[in-house]
A and B are shown apart, each in its own frame.
Chain A
Amino acid sequence: MIIRHADKIQSPQRIQQSFETLGYICSDSIATAVYLACQLQKPILIEGPPGVGKTELAKKTAEYLNAELIRMQCYEGLDEAKALYEWKYGKQLLYTQLLKDQLGDVMRGAKGLDESVSRLHQFGDIFYSEEFLETRPLLQALKSEDGAILLIDEIDKADQEFEAFLLEMLSDYQVSIPEIGTIKAKSKPIVMLTSNNTRELGDALKRRCLHLYIPFPEPELEQRIISSQVPELKADLREQLVNFVAELRELSLKKTPAVSETIDWARALVLLNTEELDRDFVEKTLNLLLKFQEDIEQVTPEIHQLLSDSKSSLRRRAKKS
């Protein structure tokens, strides 16, 4: 990766502050991880529950460093042809059809099979050159002149074989294409892998990466995130909202609400001009926070309790300060 302004990655603090101006409020450890990834040229493996901003981190890093973001979404059955390269079969067929006459000219006068074949050999592997190579995300990232940010999203969804295939790419920044040879990165991309931990990743992969775990944010941090994303929301309402969500996370739910859900909810509050979190409003909009009917059914009878809890913790803090 060629970073045009080296001072941008001078220190973790600098990165943290700059991310804030871009609207991404992050903890110290996140900033440190990005700093180390840039300085040591190592991939980062980002783990954490869904919705805490794993993918967003890659996007913001790309924005901050003015680099191209290349994203590869993983899924079961993903293979080399979709991740690395494929030959443009259609184009190859079309060209052979078009060049049929030309070929006829070339072959004219050749005696016997041997001579024909040796004449064909003179032209090299035209149909297996870079002209006919369809680049897929991984190859694109390696061929990028200035280096890019490569986001390999949800690596845990891909098969184990694909994980093994990534190893060469992650440690040496090169891949092998049998017909052409080894392709080395022009300048090393910054690689970010995200995982939701649906499957345990291999040790070999983990060993090659820096490991960053993003948990649900602390209430203070979450408030700052909300205030940067939804600045229209009033401060006391914001605090109550964050406390309410924090209480929800304590319950054993099928899917715990993440930061992105809190932001959605805050937007809804602003849109509906709500002055205060009351039972009626919460009941109506609970489906923004909880994505399973069972969860909603579990929480609905307890809304009153949760609301008073979140208020009392608000009051406690007010007393303290």
Chain B
Amino acid sequence: MQKPLGDFIHVLREHGVPVSPAESLDAMQATRLIGIAQPQLLCSVLGMTLAKTQDHLLVLEALFDQFFQRNDLVILDNQDEAHEEMSSTDTPETTEAQSSEDDPPTPNNNDAQTAAADASPLGQQLMDNEQAALSVAIAAAGAQTGVQKMQAITQQSQVAYRIMQEIGGQALSQELLELSEMPDQATRFNELKRRQQQLQQQVREYVEQQYLLFTLPKGQQLRTKNLQRVKLTNVDHHYQAQMGQLIQKAAKKLASMHSRRRKVSKRGILDVRRTIAANAAYDGLLFHTKWKTTRIERPKVLVLCDVSGSVSRVARFLLLFLHSLQDVLPKVRSFVFASDLGEVTELFERLPVEDALAEIMQQWANRPTDYGRALEDFKRLALDDLDPKTTVIMLGDARNNQSDGRTDIWQQVYQRSQRVLWLNPEGRFSWDSGDSIMGEYAPYCSKVEPCNSLNDINRILNSLLKHG
């Protein structure tokens, strides 16, 4: 029972259910208690011990059906019985010894056997319809040929062939050949032929199932890892949904990290020095108490996003990220522009984030960029609201189509606010090339950073929350 359960846990981990060794031990103990006679019960027990959220439970139930099919449970039963019968030490070798007994001997012996008797062991098993023994043999052969280590889908047929060989397919073919030469054995020949095809089908299905269980999720894991690093401007449309999930996850992590810090800031210990000082006037009687507290301000954030052309993709993700941070950043005001600038904060409040983004892209994007005009609008809308606690984030490539960039307004913004971050989706090397006027704005920014991957956004927002 240990091996299949271990495999199952391995598969769970591959599919993103985090199972700790302690939980595996629990599952093992629980399985020992309730036995494996009732698959339904086994499934719910494994669910209780291994899956700790609703999502994970769903994954587990789906995998359980795939992994422990009816036959497999029979195998487990057989193996357990085998262990009891052998009643020797409980080492893996016992299982192997047992299964190799089930297996036909090597082809060399086989030839002699087929010559003497008329049936190969595999043929005999097929005719006797020993499904359980066959499943055991296939699983054992699969383990030997390394079915769990397949790398690509193209390997399937090769592995299936090797498994057939391992369980004695050659001897079976030999027998079929001999039978085909004997006219009186025609019915037996046909029957055996049919069963051989069935068996091949069974082996192929087994291999495919194993591929789905073990190999496929590895690729997916790799993909999520890469998606975090990949340039946002290059993310294929196909993966955007997946990106959305990743962003939600990262935002949740940031939010929980920083909301915890805020809670700590509410508590404090007595500040003895300041208390004594404050009470000197009362003849040293400690009348007013002073407390040590750490103050963490909620940063007031204004974000300006260029939504034209290539920047729009990064803008999408930045806005999505910012508005997923509602818990810790309740005071985000968002502005978007291509040539005209408009405030879209209210849009995010009214609509779900995805819909709001779609609306913004439709309404504001696809116009030639004009930073000067956008900054004039910004001055009119929000310049008076800037105070020394405000952080302004600008996301844009500073490509201004040769017109006046109105750096004077940007200078005012810089003077009035606490910090000004300029995030540029282009790499440092392409700044100031062509119509980019990054160099003109750069003196009036606290920091200019390239920002073109999820990891970048995550890092920048983290530092924003820390120092805000």
Whether A211 pairs with B33 at a CB distance below 8 angstroms is: no
In the bound assembly, the distance between CA atoms of A200 and B57 in angstroms comes to: 16
Question: Could you give, for residues 2-33 of chain B, a 1 whenever the CB lies within 8 Å of some chain A CB and a 0 otherwise?
Answer: 00000000000000001010110010011001
**B45 on interface, CB distance cutoff 8 Å:** yes
Chain A nearest CB, measured from B37 CB (Å): 12
In the bound assembly, the distance between CA atoms of A207 and B45 in angstroms comes to: 15
Whether B41 pairs with A212 at a CB distance below 8 angstroms is: no
Closest A residue to B252 using CB positions = A200
Using Cβ atoms and an 8 Å threshold, which residues of chain B touch A159?
263
Using Cβ atoms and an 8 Å threshold, which residues of chain B touch A207?
20, 22-23, 52
**A33 on interface, CB distance cutoff 8 Å:** yes
Q: Please tell me which one of the listed residues A28, A33, A209, A211 contacts residue B40 in the complex, with CB atoms under 8 A apart.
A: A28
Using Cβ atoms and an 8 Å threshold, which residues of chain A touch B393?
none
Whether A40 pairs with B48 at a CB distance below 8 angstroms is: no
Q: Please tell me which one of the listed residues A12, A40, A212 contacts residue B26 in the complex, with CB atoms under 8 A apart.
A: A40
Closest A residue to B33 using CB positions = A39
Known interface pairs A32-B34, A36-B30, A160-B260; A210-B41 also in contact (CB < 8 Å): no
In the bound assembly, the distance between CA atoms of A63 and B53 in angstroms comes to: 29
Count of chain B residues with a beta carbon within 8 Å of a chain A beta carbon? 24
**B51 on interface, CB distance cutoff 8 Å:** yes
Using Cβ atoms and an 8 Å threshold, which residues of chain A touch B263?
159
In the bound assembly, the distance between CA atoms of A255 and B32 in angstroms comes to: 41
Whether A206 pairs with B52 at a CB distance below 8 angstroms is: yes
**A238 on interface, CB distance cutoff 8 Å:** no
**A102 on interface, CB distance cutoff 8 Å:** no
In the bound assembly, the distance between CA atoms of A93 and B24 in angstroms comes to: 52
What bracket does the count of chain A residues touching chain B fall in? 20 to 34
**B49 on interface, CB distance cutoff 8 Å:** yes
Using Cβ atoms and an 8 Å threshold, which residues of chain A touch B22?
207-208
**B131 on interface, CB distance cutoff 8 Å:** no
Closest B residue to A37 using CB positions = B48
In the bound assembly, the distance between CA atoms of A207 and B263 in angstroms comes to: 25
Whether B30 pairs with A40 at a CB distance below 8 angstroms is: yes
What total of A-B pairs shows CB separation below 8 Å? 56
**B54 on interface, CB distance cutoff 8 Å:** yes
Closest B residue to A207 using CB positions = B20
Closest A residue to B56 using CB positions = A211
Known interface pairs A160-B260, A207-B20; A28-B52 also in contact (CB < 8 Å): no
Known interface pairs A29-B44, A33-B48; A40-B33 also in contact (CB < 8 Å): yes
Closest A residue to B256 using CB positions = A200
Question: Could you give, for residues 153-167 of chain A, a 1 whenever the CB lies within 8 Å of some chain B CB and a 0 otherwise?
Answer: 000000110000000
Known interface pairs A28-B44, A33-B48, A211-B52; A40-B29 also in contact (CB < 8 Å): yes
Using Cβ atoms and an 8 Å threshold, which residues of chain A touch B54?
47, 213
Chain B nearest CB, measured from A77 CB (Å): 10
Closest A residue to B49 using CB positions = A210
In the bound assembly, the distance between CA atoms of A207 and B20 in angstroms comes to: 8
Given A29-B47, A203-B18, output 17 extra A-B contacts at Cβ < 8 Å: A12-B41, A29-B44, A32-B45, A36-B33, A36-B49, A39-B33, A40-B29, A40-B30, A42-B26, A207-B20, A207-B22, A209-B52, A211-B47, A211-B49, A211-B51, A212-B48, A213-B57
Instruction: List 14 A-B pairs, Cβ < 8 Å.
Output: A12-B41, A36-B33, A36-B49, A40-B26, A40-B30, A40-B33, A160-B260, A203-B18, A207-B52, A208-B22, A211-B47, A211-B52, A211-B53, A211-B57
